[in-house]
Chain A
Amino acid sequence: MKATKNNRSTMRRWRGVTTLTASILALAVAAGPIVNSFRTDIDKFLGTSSTKLVHDGDEDISEVYTYTSDYESTTELVKAIEDLGERMNEEGSVLLKNNGALPLTSDETQKVSLLGFSSYYPVMGGDMGSSLTPNVGTDADTVDFVQALSAKGFKINSNLQDLYKALEPQFTTEIDNWGNKSIFIRITAPAIGNTFSSKEPSQAVMDEADAGWKDNLKEDNVIIVTLARAAGENRTYLPGTDGVDASQNLNQTDPLGLSDDERDLVAAAIESKNANGGKVIVLLNNASAMEIDELKNNDGIDAMLQIGLPGGYGFYGVADILSGEANPSGHLTDTYAVVNKNAPSAQNFGDFPYTNADPAYSINSVQVEAENIYIGYKYYETRYMDCVLGEGNASAAVGSTNGTEWSYDNEVSYSFGYGLSYTTFEQKLDSLDVDLENKTVTAKVTVTNTGDVAGKDVVQLYVSTPYTSYDKEHGIEKAGVQLLDYGKTGVLEAGASETVTIEADMQYMASWDSSSDNAAGTKGCYILDAGTYYFSLGNGAHEAANNVLSAQGKSESDGMTEAGNAAMTATWSLESLDNESFALTKNGTAVENQLEDMDLNYWMPGTVTYMSRSDWAGTFPKTYENLTATDEMLAVLDNDNYEISADNGDASAVTFGADNGLTLAHLKGVDDIDNPDYAKLLDQITLEECLIRTGFGGTSTKAIDSIHSPEAVQNDGPNGIYSYPLGQYANTDASTGDPCAIDANDKNAGYTAGVMGNETVIAQTFNKDLAKEFGQIMGNYSLWANLPIYWGCGTNLHRSPYNARNHEYYSEDAVLTAYQGASFVAGGLEYGLLIAPKHLAFNDTEINRTGISVFMTEQQARENELRGTQAVIEDAGALAVMTAYNRIGVYTDNSHTGLLINILRGEWGFKGLMSEDFIMDANYVCLKEAVLNGVTMSCNTGDNTMAAITEKYGYWTVENVGKDARLLTALKQAMTYQAYALANSNAMDGYTPTSHLITVNTWYDNLILGLQIAFALLTLLGIVMYARSAKKESK
């Protein structure tokens, strides 16, 4: 009996052991395909590589590195990034006010008191997206404000520093994403659905921490107060008190306005200055325009400098401006309104759900951009001009801050394009020639430094186009002034002059007329109205508006805020309406209406009144909420808008799997996509490869065996390539001949380049060359880091300052956005880096961005947001684009043929690869519709098998897709676009026609295999031992 009991016990033991080992074996076996699904991300995380480049031929490998770096080492590279980051903020910080307090004398730099917790804990990048990547122990370590000031020889009051250090826990925000805790010791932007909470310590808290803290200001009486508002992807501010944490009771009427704690701090600084002498300087550390009229009007504040989010090195530039080492030359990219929530765009900024929302299809909410073309200065300056001209009920109370007559001075603190210098400049418009045949406007402007110190100046060329009865009749809107182009001088010594020549693209002064006849024989065309066109220079849009008004014979007696200068203007007249000059785009494509279905009135006639300058009072936007999608809309909103069918042509005519003996390397640098070798190459690709690679394109563009296309790793931006450290994918094998191979122990291998000032800083430079230099230096970085694709050029507009993601976009203005973006992209392409503009298009809010229906007129779409990307494609030749989460009206962005095929690829001639944004929901990915519309990859990842892809997208099978000729053709076209982009990028560096990638086992592959073998054996052993025990039991 006892023996039996023991045997049973032994059996149990071996049964348990077998269970344990079999379970781990199951885990190890299941891990194999899962690891394959996430291989790129795992390699990223572990720093491993699953492929290896092999050359079969005897080519001189050193000759196949097409692109070469300007730098000999990573030290030179990162030092150059550091230098650029410093210069970016020297030119990209905007001096808003200065009574002579700046620059500081050398003595004054030795007695600086920093107030405001954001002086010590500044916002240097986004909470999420364009976040700063701190670098320590490299040749270019990142610095905050205090470190930069110290490095530049400033002396900072340490007692105050200690005071704020002691209060540090109060500045902490912890964001818990299921265990993934992000700790921010600085101000943060509100998450979606949350409100803004001020973290500025009250005077009482400061007194409690150190009762004598104000005594520090007596001696160190150069007081710098930093006020900050953070930014972040997937974050948002909300207009007015709805966006503020009411429980704080800080008399804060808007999240972008000031709290009493901030006001009290500034007041304390001024009080101290009044008592002890010294200066009060305010730094604005923000990307979205803040409400700062009270600071502007406070004479106790001697100077105010807007510094953006300076990144890892920008504070060096800020320090240089403070000391006078650099002369500020930045200009605002956005209008600083007195009250942001009074803007027309704010009336429809928020969460406005459909009454019949359906999360199963990502049908959530609407955003009706009823403000029409009037965002930013296009609203404020146009309404102002109409006030002066007595047109369109512009002076009505609607939209005014004080509820009475609308008056510019009560509505705008600083206009778009405004900025001061330590010197003065005189601009003289020498000549302006309009060449309609060549579609250019050429302005020659002589800029003279009339002050005492050297500096740079920006020439801003605006145009005021006629607003005619035809426009009123046909619903065409015109901005009173709009930026047409800009240029920047070099450093001008005192008394020196430079002639700046601007050759502006005339298509950007044309207006979209949805009712016009066109060259295609349909409706919709760009037009130039008959009438007089005024061109004007100006330090900002408001000065330009005043100059135009002056040229029109108006004066302060007509209500102008100040006299204009007609000498800064030129005119040009057109006798009759012209709908022919811009009927064809630069590549000869006839334009026509493409976005009619983006107007809500297309689906629900008569619902929306879009704002018109013909009647400001009668058309000022109301809030469009509680809308119910009609059945017709729901039929599109379900995201299933293409039926795969055998009736779409002869599927057998589409070739796959041919043996043409080509590799992608044969087409390296071939920049004609119509070269027949591209078609031959793509005939080699298999349908399975097309299906898998379009469906699983996230994090890296994977290798394609049949055409020997290499894996190209993707990166996020825009503040620099920050997804991976420099050494993650760098070549550490110098024997390959790679001129950018690094040593495995390179000091800068851990350097990550998310260090540049944010995009508003770059735009505030108004310097295309600096934007281009950033592209070039990222191009260099990509050569060393082997990172050829970069989602790095945010070209959405600042429709509203409440969008907390504005830090990743340049400006409220389309032209400034387009030219800074185009310069950046062109700079990267010189080094084979594919910089993608994103997000095409209308990603104007982070609220409900996966599914939100964005509605607007086609004129608004084309002249604002789309114009912000157009030059990046047409002029810079971008070879990559990222689409958007949101819908274009009711269609998902990725399903909209008018936008993606007819405008992007048709009118603009885009030939490159195109990725979706990070959409994970297979229904909302709309893969078949996306491929048909030229999207080359979704952002999902998965195993390189048909089983995996079909599991994700049930209809995406060889059998199903293989019968649809239209879809097959689109798939091959998508892969052609992708191959073309890669062939013209540095992803092909090191590749020859005989080279190919082989798969290699990483250590974790070996580990999994080892575990499988070991636990298979142990399981077997368990079974055997169990069987032996059982045998004894039987006996």
Chain B
Amino acid sequence: MKRKICAGLYVNLVTIIATVVGFIYYMINCNTAYFANLGVNPVVAGCIIAAVILQIVLIVIGMKNQPMWADILPVATSVLLMLGTINFVSARVNGIAAIITFENNAENMADLNSAIIGITACLIATVISIVASFFDVTKEAA
């Protein structure tokens, strides 16, 4: 049976893009001079990667006749993104506070840049993923 693409596909694709952007900037930030010594937080990285995988799985499955169990995927995706984002923020709060006060210089501000972009992207991804959960990826063609 032919299936018609729904808004959910596009919203999920946007979520994936935002999530990937967030992840890339997280990794960039983890390799900046200022934040390098914090290392890669496995909770942040794990949650974001898992969320991307689940979204991809959701789209792949959704392109066919989506089984009912797959409805857990958007829920899990949003929860994972929320956890990843909040842990990302938590891991950077001290650094942000230090940079905007005691350690404010051009190099540190540049390092902070990737953290801000990454956090913003993850936050956007989280919100969009919640919105996406109200939509299916495809539906049966009439």
A residues in contact (CB < 8 Å) with B: 8, 11-13, 15-16, 18-20, 22-27, 30-31, 34, 37-38, 128, 177-178, 180, 191-193, 233-234, 359-360, 850, 917-918, 920-924, 940-941, 1026, 1030, 1033-1034
Contact = CB atoms under 8 A, between A and B. Distances in A.
Contact of B86 (A11, A31, A177, A234): A31
A850 B102 CA distance: 10
A912 to B, nearest CB: 23
B17 interface: no
Nearest to B133: A19
A950 B10 CA distance: 42
A177 to B, nearest CB: 4
Contacts of B36: 359-360
B82 interface: yes
A905 to B, nearest CB: 26
B34 A921 contact: yes
Given A38-B93, A233-B102, A1033-B68, A921 B86 contact: no
B93 A191 contact: no
B78 interface: yes
Nearest to B116: A178
Contact of A918 (B102, B116, B129): B102
Given A19-B130, A1026-B71, 12 more contacts: A8-B139, A13-B134, A19-B74, A19-B133, A23-B79, A24-B82, A30-B82, A177-B104, A178-B112, A180-B100, A234-B104, A359-B107
Contact of B38 (A18, A30, A922): A922
B104 A923 contact: no
25 contacts: A11-B68, A12-B134, A16-B133, A18-B133, A19-B74, A19-B75, A19-B133, A26-B83, A34-B86, A128-B101, A177-B104, A178-B100, A178-B116, A180-B100, A191-B105, A234-B101, A234-B104, A359-B33, A360-B36, A850-B103, A922-B38, A924-B37, A1026-B71, A1030-B68, A1033-B68
Contact of A19 (B78, B94, B96, B104): B78
A922 B90 contact: no
Contacts of B101: 128, 177, 234, 918
A192 B86 contact: no
* 5 interchain residue pairs of minimum CB distance: A359-B33, A16-B134, A177-B100, A19-B133, A923-B37
Contacts of A177: 99-101, 104
A719 B79 CA distance: 47
A44 B33 CA distance: 31
A739 B126 CA distance: 52
A12 B136 contact: yes
Nearest to A847: B105
A302 B9 CA distance: 80
Nearest to B35: A921
B127 to A, nearest CB: 9
B106 interface: yes
Interface in B1-55: 33-34, 36-38
A356 to B, nearest CB: 14
Contacts of A22: 75, 78-79
Contacts of A922: 37-38
Nearest to B95: A920
Contacts of B95: 920
A359 B34 contact: yes
Contacts, number: 110
A19 B68 CA distance: 15
Contacts of B90: 30, 34, 37
Contacts of B74: 15-16, 19
A940 B94 contact: yes
A38 B99 CA distance: 17
A877 B75 CA distance: 61
A940 B93 CA distance: 11
Interface string B87-131: 100100111101111111111000010001000000000100110
A918 B104 contact: no
A30 B75 contact: no
Contacts of A1033: 68
Given A20-B130, A192-B105, A15 B34 contact: no
A920 B83 contact: no
B48 to A, nearest CB: 14
B134 A193 contact: no
Nearest to A952: B38
B86 to A, nearest CB: 5
Contacts of A31: 86
Contacts of A920: 94-95, 98, 103
A20 B87 CA distance: 19
A1033 B105 CA distance: 60
A599 B71 CA distance: 68
A14 to B, nearest CB: 9
Nearest to B37: A923
Nearest to B135: A12
Contacts of B112: 178
A11 B71 contact: yes
Contact of B82 (A16, A27, A38, A923): A27
B82 A23 contact: yes
A234 B102 contact: yes
Contacts of A26: 79, 82-83, 86
Contacts of A233: 102
A273 B62 CA distance: 87
A917 B112 CA distance: 20
A843 to B, nearest CB: 12
A802 to B, nearest CB: 16
Contacts of B82: 23-24, 26-27, 30
A778 B33 CA distance: 40
Contacts of B68: 11, 1030, 1033-1034
Contacts of B103: 234, 850, 918, 920
A27 B86 contact: yes
Nearest to A11: B71
A923 B99 CA distance: 17
A940 B129 CA distance: 34
A808 B141 CA distance: 74
A19 B76 CA distance: 8
Contacts of B71: 11, 15, 1026, 1030
A15 B135 CA distance: 9
A15 B134 CA distance: 7
B54 to A, nearest CB: 12
A233 B112 CA distance: 20
B105 A918 contact: no
B58 to A, nearest CB: 11
Q: Which of A12, A27, A233, A234 has the most CB of B within 10 A?
A: A12
Given A15-B71, A360-B33, A921-B34, A192 B78 contact: no
B33 A192 contact: no
Contacts of B96: 178
A193 B98 contact: no
A20 B128 CA distance: 11
A474 B132 CA distance: 78
A359 B108 CA distance: 11
A37 B130 CA distance: 28
Contacts of A918: 98, 101-103
Nearest to B93: A38
Contacts of A1026: 71
Contacts of A193: 105-106
A176 to B, nearest CB: 9
A191 B104 contact: yes
Q: Which of A16, A25, A31, A922 has the most CB of B within 10 A?
A: A16
A30 B83 contact: yes
Interface string B60-82: 00000000100100110011011
A908 B91 CA distance: 39
A22 B77 CA distance: 10
Nearest to A918: B102
Contacts of A1034: 68
A741 B49 CA distance: 54
A8 B140 CA distance: 11
Contacts of A38: 93
